Structure 1
Amino acid sequence: MLPDMRLNPYLKSAAAGCAATLPMSAWMLAAQHWLLPRRERYPLPPEQITEHAAEAVGLDAVAGNEPVLKVATVVNHFAYGAAAGALYAPLRSLPGSPLVKGMGLGLFVWSGSYLGLLPATGLLSPATEHPARRNALMIVAHLIWGGCTGVLAERKG
């Protein structure tokens, strides 16, 4: 008997989450540049989180070196997108549009991260303390990520 060659749904969902981080990041950077007033164009949460995490564990060579911090931010953001994307796997069996299920996951990840996990770990202040426009930017980013994750995770082939 041949082994089942279908990709494990958790791995497929993680890969989808990783891939979905690209359009999410493109939106974040474009919206930061074009939609936020200058006073709100400071580093986006993935960079802030990476810098705070590096400082917390004594990686001053990352936190204090802008090019290294940028690379670490990209790696961390895509890794978090993959890890969160794996959460989509159980949603695959639910009825409904992958786009809508994914967008729901995106809102869950945003709220769980920005109102719970990140403030609890001290890596970022809660979303309630951030400007409304920046929160809107990040919520839309997570809707984009979630929608793309759902569509990619349920794509045949």
Structure 2
Amino acid sequence: MRLLARGAVAGAAATLPMTAVLLVAQRRGALEEPPPFTILRRADRCQRRRRTGTVSGSIARRRRRERAGRAARLHLAIGAISGAVYGLLGGTTRPNPASAVAHGVAHGLGVWLAGYAVTLPLAGLYAPAWADRPRRVRSIVAAHLVYGAVLGLVARRK
């Protein structure tokens, strides 16, 4: 249970610098918006397919703000869950910083692969990496590398 909790806390903490990388990529034009926003926007669109009619500007702005809050909570929760998995897989038992970073980076790449090459494309929520713009793919991979490195360092047993 301690490994699970340590991993979850480390995963939530590692999500913060990862999000910073995504926001920098957005500012530089590599991303239109961070992936959690895109995923929720597309999920909301799928949910409202049967609804028709127009939406006023104030309602649309409120929905965007609400979606931003939900996207942030979703991203933090996914980071914590991924960190908990990392803890259960023994990632928190690496006392050496270099080993912790290496294992964390491998985990971060695995999370990216599971999400962006399999789960999200199958759900129709995100383009598969091989069909996406290279600059966007590089930005998202870089964010997952940062997530993994920070996860490994924060989760390690000192």
Common topology (TM > 0.5): yes
Question: Which of residues 100, 103, 106 is equivalent to 1:104?
Answer: 106
Distance change (3 Å), C-alpha of 1:28 and 1:104: same
Give the AA of the match of 1:85.
G
Distance change (3 Å), C-alpha of 1:63 and 1:81: farther
Separation (CA, whole Å) in 2 of partners of 1:81 and 1:103: 14
State the 1:142 CA deviation: 0.2
Asked if structure 1 preserves the Cα contact closer than 8 Å seen for 2:13 and 2:151, the reply is yes
Distance change (3 Å), C-alpha of 1:63 and 1:13: farther
Give the AA of the match of 2:140.
M
Give the AA of the match of 2:150.
C
> SS at 1:65's partner residue?
helix
Question: Which of residues 13, 17, 32 is equivalent to 1:19?
Answer: 13
State the 1:51 CA deviation: 1.5
Asked if structure 2 preserves the Cα contact closer than 8 Å seen for 1:49 and 1:123, the reply is yes
Query: What aligned pairs does 1:38-117 form with structure 2 within 5 A after superposition?
Result: 40-58=30-48, 65-89=63-87, 90-92=89-91, 93=93, 97-117=99-119
**TM-score in terms of structure 1 length:** 0.82
Separation (CA, whole Å) in 1 of partners of 2:86 and 2:60: 31
State the 1:57 CA deviation: 3.9
State the 1:146 CA deviation: 0.7
Q: Provide Cα deviations, 1:2-43, integer angstroms capped at 9, x if missing partner.
A: xxxxx6101110111111000000111112213x3xxx5412
> SS at 2:90's partner residue?
helix
Asked if structure 2 preserves the Cα contact closer than 8 Å seen for 1:13 and 1:153, the reply is yes
Separation (CA, whole Å) in 2 of partners of 1:108 and 1:64: 35
Alignment coverage as a number of residue pairs: 146
**TM-score in terms of structure 2 length:** 0.81
Asked if structure 1 preserves the Cα contact closer than 8 Å seen for 2:120 and 2:126, the reply is yes
Distance change (3 Å), C-alpha of 1:64 and 1:56: farther
Separation (CA, whole Å) in 2 of partners of 1:62 and 1:45: 20
State the 1:85 CA deviation: 1.2
Structure 1 gaps of 5+ residues are: 1-6
Asked if structure 1 preserves the Cα contact closer than 8 Å seen for 2:95 and 2:156, the reply is no
* Mapped pair 1:30 → 2:32: no
